[in-house]
C-alpha cells in the first residue's frame, strides 16, 4: 500500500486518555510527510533521469549500430576496391605483355625482312658487278681489237699515252 505525503498530513488518530502527546505526533507526522514528499520528488526525478538516460542509451545504441554498419560497408567497399584494383592491374599487365609480344614479333619480322632485303641487295650488287665486269672486259677487248686493227692498218705503232690507261681499267675491275 502506497502512502502519499498528503495522506500522512491528513491522518487522524483517536484520542485516548493515556495516549501520546498530540503536538509531538503531529510534528513527527509533518516531518515524516515532508520527508516522504521529498523522497517522492527525488524518486520522480530519478525516474525522469532514468527515462532520459535510457533514451540517450537507445540513441547511442542506434548510433553504434549505424557506425558498425558504416564501418562494415567501408570495409566491404575497401575490399572491393582493392580487388578491383588488383583485377585492373592484372588486366594492364596482360595488355602490356600482349603489346610487348606484338612489338617483339614485329621487330623479329622487320629484322627478317631487313635481312632478306640485305641479301637481295647483295645478290643484285654481285649481279651488277658481274655484269659490269663482263661489260668492261668486253669493252677492253673491243678497244684492244681496235688497237690491233689500227696498228695493222697503219703499219705503225703510235703511242696512245703512257700505257697506264690499260692498267687503271684492270685495277677498277679488280676493285669491283
* pLDDT 10s digits, 33-89: 888 889 889 999 999 999 999 999 999 999 999 999 999 999 999 999 999 999 999
The predicted structure's pLDDT at residue 37: 87
Q: What is the pLDDT of residue 171?
A: 67
User: What's the pLDDT score for residue 66?
Assistant: 96
Model pTM? 0.41
CA 111 to mean position of chain CA atoms:
35
pLDDT tens track for 1-20: 577 777 777 777 777 777 77
Q: Is the pLDDT of residue 163 over 80?
A: no
Q: Describe the chain by its helix, strand, coil percentages, rounded to 5.
A: 85, 0, 15
Q: 68 or 166: whose pLDDT is higher?
A: 68
How far apart CA 26 and CA 4 sit, in angstroms, is: 16
CA distances from 72 to 58, 59, 61, 75, 172 (A): 21, 20, 16, 5, 90
Amino acid at each position: 500500500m502506497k502512502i502519499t505525503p498528503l495522506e500522512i498530513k491528513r491522518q487522524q488518530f483517536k484520542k485516548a486518555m493515556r495516549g501520546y502527546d498530540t503536538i509531538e505526533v503531529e510534528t513527527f507526522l509533518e516531518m515524516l510527510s515532508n520527508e516522504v514528499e521529498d523522497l517522492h520528488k527525488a524518486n520522480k526525478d530519478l525516474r525522469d533521469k532514468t527515462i532520459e538516460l535510457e533514451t540517450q542509451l537507445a540513441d547511442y545504441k542506434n548510433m553504434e549500430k549505424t557506425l558498425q554498419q558504416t564501418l562494415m560497408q567501408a570495409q566491404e567497399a575497401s575490399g572491393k576496391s582493392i580487388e578491383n584494383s588488383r583485377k585492373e592491374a592484372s588486366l594492364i599487365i596482360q595488355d602490356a605483355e600482349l603489346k610487348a609480344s606484338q612489338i617483339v614479333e614485329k621487330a623479329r619480322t622487320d629484322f627478317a625482312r631487313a635481312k632478306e632485303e640485305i641479301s637481295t641487295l647483295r645478290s643484285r650488287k654481285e649481279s651488277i658487278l658481274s655484269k659490269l665486269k663482263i661489260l668492261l672486259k668486253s669493252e677492253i677487248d673491243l678497244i684492244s681489237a681496235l688497237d690491233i686493227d689500227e696498228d695493222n692498218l697503219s703499219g705503225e705503232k703510235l703511242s696512245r699515252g703512257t700505257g697506264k690507261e690499260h692498267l687503271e681499267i684492270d685495277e677498277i675491275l679488280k676493285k669491283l
